[in-house]
Amino acid sequence: MALTAEELCSYSDNVNEQLARYGVKFGIYKNGEFHEQLFPFDVIPRVISHDEFAYLERGLKQRVSALNEFLRDIYSRRRIIADGVVAEEFVYSGSGYLVPCDGVSPPGGIYSHISGIDLVQGRDGSWYVLEDNLRIPSGASYPLIARELCRRTIPDAFTGRALEDNSNYAELLRRTMDHVNTGGHPVILTPGRFNAAYFEHSYLAEQTGARLVTCDDLVVENDRLYFTDYSGRKEQVGAVYRRISDEYLDPVNFCSESLIGVPHIFDIYRKGNVAIINAPGNGAADDKGIYYFVPKMIRYYLHEEPILHNAPTYLPYYEQDMSYVLANFDRLVLKDVAEAGGYGVVFGSKLSHEQKEEFIRMMKAEPRRFIAQEVIDFQDIDIYEDGVRVPRKADLRAFVLMSDEAAVWKCGLTRFSRNPDSFIVNSSQGGGFKDTWVMSE
């Protein structure tokens, strides 16, 4: 018989012990020192009904398809700019746009192979997209292993529940890598153990059967990428799921000071001799400023109305929006487009008079740098804390994997704030995570 939420909570320590046993951690730098921390797991899952997820699935596929079209377009014909749908300044002045990617067509024509779309659900039940992550979205490994360990620890919690199995993430990811593989082994390229998401890198390598490598293991020779084994034998690599950001990927083509990249990997990528997952240059499409234009992209490329909604967003870059932001400053949330991980987020109502004046001065000086959004009063989700259930803010990162077709993983990373007064759910700022149960009927 299925357990009640209260009964489920009584197993919280047991599940967290299992997660500790398997080293389910993330890294964080404090005062210049690296620390490994367990990622706090809350045993009460977020539950999404079959119909509701079917709606999300349609909307996510639509959104990611449009974003892929956008990337293809801005690195080739630039129709969307010529037609005046997206302002040029928002594409080419952002740090995510990479000039060397101009005219490069990635293997299989796919740019965002793995997309992490952050959503929240308002109190009225409506879902809003808060952010698109098309570079190296992380987090899928946590609910993946948590589900397995919960099933082991509390099998009764799953009895009699029509629940979608989430254990296929590794299969979806491997299919995504294989689909664009240009011939050779698939690898996961990690910056190394002292990366915040190292657990994820190593766990996904184990689960997919792809080799976990660092830059020292790879070499470009004769326009091909090779992995050198311990006997000196070279094996060709055809797909690189890189967990290194664009600027550090190739010291010859990008940041020359990078010690974690592979020299010339971008050159052979440009020639179509290796797949890089996700494609370099995707930052041009997941910039917080570009987010504003995604519904327009959907209409432009797909000739469809957007299924999922953005949070109401304003660009101070536009005069009309600047006026609105100034008039409504205290009830808006302002975001620095260059920041991530919950940083650079400011609630107008929480600023002192002086801070507000200073912020407005900055915004007027660099209007392209900020967006403003209505604060979505998103639904609280219960967590179990110190023996009682308490409501906390939570979001959902949904994962869309693109191979021969787009597939939405029937799960997702639900992150919650442990601070009752905070909307910030990021693990780097003390947030925890939950499993996401998608019902199968």
Partner 1 sequence: MAILSLGNSERLFWLGRYSERVFTGIKFLLARPSWNGSCFDENNSESVHFSLMRAYDNAIVLRDEIGSDTFSYVQLAVYEMKNASRSRTPLVGLQKVNDNIAAFWGMADDSISDEHVRGIIKLGKRVERVDLYARNNADSEDIRREIHRLIYRIAKTGLHYDGARLSALNALAGGESINRPEVVREVESLINFSGT
Binding-site ranges for partner 1 (CB under 8 A): 20-23, 145, 185, 192-193, 198, 202-203, 205-206, 211-214, 216-217, 227-233, 235
Instruction: Give me the least distance between CB of 319 and partner 1, in Å please.
Output: 53
CB of 233 to partner 1, least distance (A): 8
Classify 292 as helix, strand or coil: coil
Facing residues of 48 across strands? 438
What angle do the packed helices 141-153 and 12-21 form, to 10 degrees?
120
Cβ at position 407, least distance to partner 1 in Å: 24
Bridge partner list, 395: 415
Q: Give least dist CB 411 to partner 1, A.
A: 19
Residue 55's CB is within 10 A of a number of other CB atoms, namely: 14
Nearer to partner 1, 145 or 290 (CB): 145
Task: Compare residues 216 and 357 and give the one whose CB is closer to partner 1.
Answer: 216
- Per DSSP bridges, beta strands 41-48 and 33-38 are unpaired
- Between CA 119 and CA 95 the distance in angstroms is 24
One-letter amino acid identity for 174? R
User: At closest approach, how far in Å is the CB of 135 from partner 1?
Assistant: 23
Q: Is 402 helix (H, G, I), strand (E, B) or coil?
A: strand
Which CB sits closer to partner 1, 65 or 141?
141
Q: Which is nearer to partner 1, 17 or 339 (CB)?
A: 17
Q: Which is nearer to partner 1, 145 or 268 (CB)?
A: 145
Q: Nearer Cβ to partner 1, position 218 or 334?
A: 218
Strand 309-310 to 127-133 pairing: parallel
188 vs 398, which CB is nearer to partner 1?
A: 188
Give dist(CA 329, CA 373) in Å, integer.
10
CB atoms within 10 A of CB 76: 12
Cβ-count burial 344-353 (b if 16+ within 10 Å, e if not): ebbebeebee
Omega cis (within 30) before 278: yes
Q: In angstroms, give the least distance from the CB of 429 to partner 1.
A: 24
Q: Which is nearer to partner 1, 26 or 370 (CB)?
A: 26
Question: Token pair 């709606």 is at which residue?
Answer: 55
Question: Which lies closer to partner 1 via its Cβ, residue 27 or residue 344?
Answer: 27
CB of 252 to partner 1, least distance (A): 22
Q: Where are the beta strands (DSSP E) in 114-172?
A: 114-121, 127-133
Taken in order 97, 102, 104, 109, the sign of the CA dihedral is positive
- Minimal distance, residue 190 CB to partner 1, in Å: 9
**For the chain, how far is it from start to end, CA to CA, in angstroms?**
18
Q: Edge-to-edge strand order for the sheet containing 313-314?
A: 313-314, 370-374, 332-336, 345-347
Supply the minimum distance, in Å, between the C-beta of residue 143 and partner 1. 16
| Rounded Cα gap, residues 129 and 240, in angstroms | 29
C-beta closer to partner 1: residue 110 or 205: 205
Backbone dihedral region for residue 412 (phi beyond 0: left; psi -120 to 50: alpha; all else: beta): left
> What amino acid occupies position 327?
A
Residue 204 CB, shortest distance to partner 1, in Å, is 9
